[in-house]
Amino acid sequence: MNKNELKPQCVFEQFARINNIPRPSKHEEKMIEYLKKFGEDLKLETKVDETGNVIIRKPASKGYENRKTLILQSHMDMVCEKLVDKDIDFTKDPIETYVDGEWLRAKGTTLGADDGIGCAIEMAVLADDSLEHGPIECVFTRDEETGLTGADGMGADFMTGDLLINLDSEDEGQFFISCAGGVTTRATFKFAKESAPDGYFFMKLSLQGLHGGHSGDDINKKFANGIKLLTRFIYIISEKYDVRLASFNSGRMHNAIPRDGVVVFAVPNEAKEDVRASLNIFAKDVEDEFHVTEEHIEFKLESTDAEPVMPKAVSRNLIAALQAVDNGPYSMCQDEALAWMVETSSNVASVTTTDDAVNIVASQRSNVMSNLTNMGNTVKAAFELAGAEVTQGDKYPAWKMNPNSALTDIVVETYKKLFNKEPKVIGIHAGLECGLFSEKYPHLDMVSMGPTLRGVHSPDERLLIPTVQMVWDHLLEIMKNIPTK
C-alpha cells in the first residue's frame, strides 16, 4: 500500500493538507485561518469565536431538511512529541508521513491523527455535495490537548444542534458515552544553587527507549514512567550516600507518560563505583519488572563536569516527594458493566530544572468527580509536605452516561447493519471535550467515535488505515438516519 492508495481518498487528501499546517496546542492560528478560508471558499456559513473555535454550517441535502441538526466535532491542535535526534520545528515544519503496511506513521514525530483525522473527516463531509444528510454543524476546537481551553471558552450559543458526534476516539468499533474528568497539579521547588561540593564526583544518568503513551488511555497498560524510574534509582542511592542533585529533566507534555529523561547528580568520590554497580543491579530488576511492555529500556551512566547543585535539603525533599507521589491506576470502576475500566489515576508527567527552581507537572483523572478531588489533594499533599509551592488548574468535568441516548441507538444499529457485528459501547478513562459540552449544553445527546490509533502522544503514534474507511462509511450511514425534528 502506498499513499496514493489510501482510502477514502477524500479524507486522506484533507489529512495530508492538515499535516502541512503547524498546529501545536496554543499555537493554532494558522489552522484557524485555514479552516476559516476553507469554509468561506465553499460558501458556507463560517464563524470563529473569541477563543478561536471554528464552526462551519452546511445546509441539509434535498429531502433531509426536516432532520435534527447534527454536530460533528474534533480538535485542531496536536501533541508535538519527537525522537531525541529528530530535527523539527513544530511551529514551522510539516509532519512527514509514511505508510507502514496497514498503518500510517510519521517520521520521528507524533502523527497528528489525534485529532487531525477527525478534522479531515469533517472537512471531507463539508466538501462533498453528493452526501445525504440533514443540517450539519462542523466544529473545530482549539487547545484540547493542554487544558481543553477551546471547549472551556466556548459560549453556550455557539453550537445549535441537538446531537453531537465527537470524532476524537481511538478504537474503531468502540463508541464512548462517558469520560473521565481531570485536573493538573503543578509543584515548584525554589532554591539558590550552591557551588559544587569538594570531594564529590559528578554523574549523568540517562534513560531512554520507554514506550510512553497517553496518560489516560494507556495508564493501565504497565508502561514504565521515566520520572518514576529515575527517581527510584536516585532514592535508592540517596539512602546510602549524600546525593546532591544538579538537575532533573524528564517528560514534556502534561498528558503523556514520560519515556526518557536525564538526571545530573554528585556523590562522594568513594561512592562512584558502588553507584555504577547499583545501577547494573537496578537496571536488571527493571528489565525483569517490565519485560513484557518495555523491551527497549536503556540506562546510561557517565561522568560529567562539575556544576552548581541544589541545597542538600531540596535534593532530598524533591526525590522523596517524587518517590512518594501516586502514579498509575488508583482504583477501578465500581459499576459492574465498567469494572474493567480505570476509575481514578495519576501520572507524573514532567520535571524540568531551571537555574533556581524545579517544576513538576502531574495530572489526575477520574470518572467520579469526588474521587478526582481526593486524588488531586493526595498528590498536592505529597508535594506540600516536601516544601513545594503547589497550584492546581485546568480542571474539567467528567461526562456522565446518558442511559436514554437516541444517538447511541442510531450509532449501534447502523454499525450492526453495515458490518454485521456488535460494537462496544463503553466509557473511557481520558478527558473528552464532551464533558465540558455536557455542562454548557445539557440537552446534547453525544457519542464519541473514531478510527483506530495507537501510540498517541508519542513518536510511535500510528493510524490503522482500513479503519478510516469503516468510520467514514459508518458516519455517512448515521447521517442518513438522523431523526426528524
- 3-state SS string for 394-448: EEECCECCCCCCHHHHHHHHHHHHHHCCCCEEEEECCCCCHHHHHHHCCCCEEEE
**Where does residue 11 rank: exposed (0-12), middle (13-18), buried (19+ CB within 10 A)?**
buried
All three cell numbers of 353? 530544572
Candidates 106, 294, 293; CA nearest to 209 is 294
115: preceding bond cis by omega (within 30 degrees)? yes
Cα 291–271–199 angle (5° rounding)?
Answer: 140
Please identify every residue annotated as catalytic.
77, 144
Candidates 78, 32, 163; CA nearest to 434 is 163
All three cell numbers of 49? 469565536
All three cell numbers of 100? 507502514
CB of 113 within 8 A of CB of 453?
yes
- CA–CA separation, 328 vs 310, rounded Å? 28
Question: Going edge to edge, which strands form the sheet with 453-454?
Answer: 97-100, 103-106, 462-464, 453-454
Candidates 322, 327, 385; CA nearest to 358 is 322
- CA–CA separation, 161 vs 140, rounded Å? 15
Question: Going edge to edge, which strands form the sheet with 54-58?
Answer: 45-48, 54-58, 136-141, 70-75, 163-166, 445-448, 174-179, 424-428
Distance of CA 293 to the CA centre of its chain: 19
- CA–CA separation, 79 vs 224, rounded Å? 20
